[in-house]
Structure 1
Amino acid sequence: MSIAQERRLVTPVPGPGSLLRLERKRRHVADGVGTTLPVFVVEAGGGVLVDVDGNHLIDLGSGIAVTTVGNAAPHVVRRASEQLAAFTHTCFMITPYDGYVDVCEQLGELTPGGHAKKSALFNSGAEAVENAVKIARVATGRDAVAVFDHAYHGRTNLTMAMTAKNMPYKNGFGPFAGEVYRAPMSYPFRDGLSGPDAAARAIDLLEKQVGAANLACVVIEPIQGEGGFVVPAPGFLPAIAAWAAAHDVVYVADEIQSGFCRTGDWFASDHEGVVPDLVATAKGIAGGLPLSAVTGRAELMDRVHVGGLGGTYGGNPVACAAALGAIEEMREHHLTARARAIGATMASRLADLRETHAVIGDVRGRGAMMAIELCAPGTTEPDPARTAAVAAYCHAQGVVVLTCGTYGNVLRFLPPLSIPDALLAEGFAVIAEAFAATA
């Protein structure tokens, strides 16, 4: 890698160059567009972000699980550059091109299940989720959509309705789309239920308050993202999927944050052998370029009338080329195995931290998608203040970490799978310092 894979602090974080640019941002960018760490990046790769002041920061966020293969992975850069030189756009709905079809073919091979599949490509995760709901409604002739506590599905009107957390995603933006119903999620740290028992609770509520005959689809994140990296208890997802299948309800897996090797499998649904009817993907699909998809059973996907799916930029040729490069990186470098190795390292370090710091109530996750939930010791009372303090210490010391969770008390770790072991170890050494310094 051309970028030295080391943490290097030349100035305070943020430095003078970033602070100067932050003033320019305040003048020209809407205040509603926030930033977690106001450093302006000029170069990135491996597990390092380099800011305008020359600081080398350890990246444990991957742009929220987007740069899974790294910020400038060779196959992504090569394929995207070649396509950029050939043409940037024609609109697939006007004159098609091979790249779009190639991505759909790959998605059919990689997503769970051996059945016949088709895909449609879009730009963002929210678009993918919204189009999955559209497909389910047309295919079933029903309107109702079931989602879960702590869910996050996007920022469009429909996906805001499907998202659980009010601030900052929903506050003041209503009224929202109707016919969205929320069921309790399996949250082992907080409910103590087995997977089957948690599923029975959710199913009972949906049957009583909505009725299976009225449901077009159940939309669920196999591991919740913004809601706190909640990993449902074993058996929960298979039970929900089986109930949906028994009642002709479309089971939609929102794999936008958990897909493409992030959890140590190609998709988080693979862990328990769950085969969704539809899969929504985005984030890690294209190495940082905007692309998303809905992939599903061919007979479901084909229920929508011609012209009912699409969008001007959906499946942009450069983004499709980047996706093919990202998949090539994942295959060539065995990134599912790499995610499992990174996950084992993070789980060990976090378990050690939990032994020392009673504020860490739970360690959870899978593969390179790990989190800790901070609570008042011996309770489940959230401690968002300590969470923010730990994150702030890490940022000042040149380690990019992200917070999440319904209660704002979860630290999540999403390192790029290209991060070197030594850099990962150094990042977690700083996290340990942060807990000691904020005790």
Structure 2
Amino acid sequence: MNIHFIAIGGAAMHNLALALHHKGETVTGSDDTIFDPSKTRLETYGLLPETFGWYPEKITKDLDAVILGMHAKEHNPELLRAQELGLNIYSYPEFLYESAKDKTRVVIGGSHGKTTITSMILHVMHYWDKEVDYMVGAQLEGFDTMVRMTADADFMILEGDEYLSSAIDRRPKFHLYKPNIALLSGIAWDHINVFPTFENYLEQFQIFVNSMTNGGAMVYNSEDEDVVQVVENATAHIKKYPYVTPEYTVQNGETLLQTPDGPMPIEIFGKHNLNNLAGAKWICQHMGVVEEDFYEAISTFKGASKRLEKIAENDKTVIYKDFAHSPSKVEATTIAVKEQFPERKLVACLELHTYSSLNPEFLNEYKGALDAAEVAVVFYSPHAVELKGLEAIDKKQIEEAFRRQDLIIYTNPLDFRTFLFGQELSDKSILLMSSGNYGGLDFEDLKGLM
């Protein structure tokens, strides 16, 4: 096939381009700008556009498919040309479904935990040399790309994102996959620029459950009331498999998972991650991995990239960074680090970076999210608020939203860096939560603090 990518430089898009290239397809693409690591990876395989920009002349009748990324707008010159020629235009998730419609599709959905659960499943499959196709939202240890597509694999594992598919396809991505096997990890309001009410957001998960194939298997977190409601209201004829957080203990900074053969040390920690593990175990069993083999494989799982990722550690201190930004995930991650190192003072830092987190109407969702930390810090950029076209917020609003009078708030990256690098680290845990980088913080520099 001849396939052209409009906006090839995105994290998901360039990985799909690489997967198709490895499969033997002819791949071309365009973008207005491309940054590393996408740029270097595309260049390595001869897929980097010679010049940046949009070139309608690249769009010809010889193309079998055009894949449109979220970064491309509805008036993109290449998109308009493709529409004019009547070519097959796919959003990213639409193309994934077309490629996997004859496979058993396993879709991992939920407001949080998707990447971690998908990563756990892939780790187990990789450990036992079971070949599967996949799409996951983070770069995984032992995997060259975030997407794998072959002709032979029986299963396609998909991380089911609820965000929109493309500029011309406003459906949430996970509505398009029609899973044979699915998982719902939890529901917590997010993406309020697209789903302005919780009811509207909840409805997207109901549509997802109802989109399952008849006779499909739904694995779901029965500790989440909204998940239970959605699954119980399913109109699709599906089999339902609830899961709960397994028993575990923490001893001297090590988490021990209770198994049929007794306590087993694992690399990950935190109640939310143990809950994720329980869901992953069910999915792996549906894919033919018995419980004993699952435990052997998962004991070596170190976590997904940017999910409670250890930056540095010595006998007295540990520093983690985490992708957490939604209120429920911020709270769960903060509690997890405190539980793992209860004798150490926890300094928890959160950057408000997403559209939702910087929205004054959404801020109150963060009530109590940092309560497990002895020292709680929030960083945000007033300029980012302005760029997103949002109403200005002030420090008083943030303090009231988190319900902490001792909350430390920074708006200047240099001031935040001075605070962080001025910490006396002995007997402390440092947790940095953000989908951004605190205005330019190089996390590698933190290793010099130890």
Query: How does the TM-score come out when normalised to structure 2?
Result: 0.29
The structure with the largest alpha-carbon Rg is 2
Richer in helix (by share): 1
Query: How does the TM-score come out when normalised to structure 1?
Result: 0.30
Richer in strand (by share): 2
Structure with more contact order per residue of length (Cα contacts < 8 Å, sep ≥ 6): 1
